[in-house]
């Protein structure tokens, strides 16, 4: 999966081109540098605890799923079809992961790369949801788990 989602209005570049107003780490005004791409380049491997466009503290769940804020959409920026597809896949995968957890599985979802890691007992599975066959296997396994639960 590519790391930047293309903008509709300019045809190329990252979605997150709006100037950041707040520091993603501290939430204070006036981050340096003030663009998302430049910030990530300078401050590699930092966790974005604040939304740099609104200054709001991010939830622990949001931080866990998207540590460096790549899925944040700045106010006023138009989401692309690719970004919308990614977010829809992410929502579906999270819902399915919740169902797996109800059935005794442990799991983790990498929100940026759309990779699900599942574990139950000695069994460990990985699914790349950007690959159609892996995505189908993920949801087939969920259907089997729901059926197994219903038949117990």
Across 42-114, where does the E strand assignment appear?
Answer: 106-110
> What order of strands is seen across the sheet that includes strand 123-128?
106-110, 115-120, 123-128
Three-state DSSP class for 128? strand
Residue-range domain boundaries for the chain: 1-78, 81-151
Three-state DSSP class for 120? strand
| CA–CA separation, 28 and 17 (whole Å) | 19
| CA–CA separation, 8 and 15 (whole Å) | 9
pLDDT at 14: 58
**Residue 41 φ/ψ, nearest 5 degrees:** -65, -45
The pLDDT tens digits along the chain (152 residues) read: 334 444 444 444 457 888 999 999 999 999 999 998 888 889 888 899 999 999 999 999 888 888 888 888 888 888 778 888 888 898 899 999 999 999 999 999 988 889 999 999 999 999 999 999 999 999 999 999 989 888 88
Whether the predicted model's global pTM rises above the 0.85 cut:
no
pLDDT at 142: 95
């Amino acid at each position: 999966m590519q790391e930047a989602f293309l903008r509709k209005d300019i045809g190329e570049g990252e979605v997150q081109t709006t100037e950041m107003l707040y520091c993603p780490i501290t939430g204070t005004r006036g981050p340096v540098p003030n663009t998302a791409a430049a910030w990530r380049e300078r401050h590699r491997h930092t966790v974005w605890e604040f939304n740099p466009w609104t200054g709001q503290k991010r939830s622990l769940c949001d931080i866990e799923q998207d540590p460096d804020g790549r899925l944040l959409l700045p106010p006023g920026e138009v989401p692309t079809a690719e970004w919308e597809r990614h977010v829809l896949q992410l929502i579906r995968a999270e819902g399915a992961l919740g169902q797996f957890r109800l059935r005794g599985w442990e799991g983790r979802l990498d929100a940026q790369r759309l990779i699900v890691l599942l574990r139950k007992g000695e069994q460990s599975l990985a699914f790349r949801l950007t690959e159609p066959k892996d995505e189908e296997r993920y949801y087939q396994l969920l259907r089997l788990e729901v059926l197994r639960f219903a038949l117990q």
